[in-house]
Amino acid sequence: MNGIWILLLLMVTAALPVIIVFFWFRRGASARQDPDGDSQLRKSPVTLSWFLVSLAAGIISLFAAALIQKFFPPLSRSGLDGSGPIFFDIYIRVALVEEASRFVILIPLFIIGSRRRNMDISFCGALGLVAGLGFAMLENAFYGMADTNITLLRAFTAAPLHGACGIRVGMAVFVCKQRPVRALVLFISAVLIHGTYNMMIVNPAFPSALAVLVAFAALLSPLSFTKLVGKDTENIPKST
């Protein structure tokens, strides 16, 4: 019985960032209905159906990344003497592969979505945020099964990190057809932020608090960035 309660607590803790963001979207929701039959959200156009589909996309991207990573040769993380292998492991095998899998999985979601509504960069960034949290939720649960002590820590560090990168990847998918250079910059920024966070986690020379600051700073910064970019991209139709 204790094991069941621990597992339940582990699942709830891993899902906590997802729950927080869901209620943040729901705050001040209007009672009027949109064409999908969901209550329209005043803070974001992400309805319940969009939220769940994006969450599922993030979970699928985790399995896709894990499958691809199996094709990479195993690299030791036992020390930081070999900077080349460590850099490849963190920035390429982990960060690049995970962000690329998120990018690819979001493309069909945005293509289908553009046929049902006018997509804008803020909306796509919001879907990327939810997809990132879906990725982090399942990843945190897996890590928590191995060590329950790190579950809460990862919920409030890895989840914001994946959410921040998800926003950038979502925006990159939106602008990739009309503005490929901007899309590449957004995607590379997600990879670099992701890799830098991981480097701080595995390198004892960096205090863990610094990784937390990086995760939250990366999550907060796209809010103003979305407003700036959205002025010249919000009317781009079907950018995927």
Q: DSSP states of 19-52 as a string?
A: HHHHHHHHTT--SSB-TTSSBPPSS-S--HHHHH
Instruction: Say if 204 falls within a structural domain.
Output: yes
Average pLDDT over residues 32-37: 49
Whether the Cβ atoms of residue 168 and residue 190 lie closer than 8 Å to each other: yes
Rounded to whole angstroms, the Cα distance separating 45 from 119 reads 10
% of the chain beyond a pLDDT of 90? 33
Please determine, for residue 20, whether its predicted confidence score (pLDDT) is greater than 60.
yes
The domain tally of the chain equals 1
The amino acid present at 94, given as its one-letter code, is V
Least confident of 13-22, 84-93, 196-205, 214-223: 214-223
Q: 223: pLDDT confidence band, cut at 50, 70 and 90? A: low
Tokens coding 83: 């900077």
Instruction: Say if 178 falls within a structural domain.
Output: yes
Whether the Cβ atoms of residue 150 and residue 9 lie closer than 8 Å to each other: no
Whether the Cβ atoms of residue 25 and residue 51 lie closer than 8 Å to each other: yes
Domain residues for 72?
2-26+45-233
How confident is the model at residue 191, as a pLDDT? 96
Q: 72: pLDDT confidence band, cut at 50, 70 and 90? A: confident
Average pLDDT over residues 160-185: 93
Q: What's the pLDDT tens digit per position in 51-61? A: 999 999 999 99
Instruction: Say if 192 falls within a structural domain.
Output: yes
Instruction: Say if 37 falls within a structural domain.
Output: no
How confident is the model at residue 147, as a pLDDT? 65
Q: 150: pLDDT confidence band, cut at 50, 70 and 90? A: low
Please determine, for residue 87, whether its predicted confidence score (pLDDT) is greater than 70.
yes
Please determine, for residue 144, whether its predicted confidence score (pLDDT) is greater than 60.
yes
Residues 6 or more apart in contact with residue 174 via CB below 8 angstroms: 110, 119, 120, 121, 124, 125, 233, 236, 239, 240
Strand partners, 39: 33
Instruction: Say if 39 falls within a structural domain.
Output: no
Tell me what the pLDDT averaged over the chain comes to. Answer: 77
Q: 158: pLDDT confidence band, cut at 50, 70 and 90? A: confident
Average pLDDT over residues 180-207: 89
pTM of the model: 0.79
Please determine, for residue 40, whether its predicted confidence score (pLDDT) is greater than 50.
no
Instruction: Say if 36 falls within a structural domain.
Output: no
Residues 6 or more apart in contact with residue 1 via CB below 8 angstroms: none
Instruction: Say if 40 falls within a structural domain.
Output: no
Instruction: Say if 84 falls within a structural domain.
Output: yes
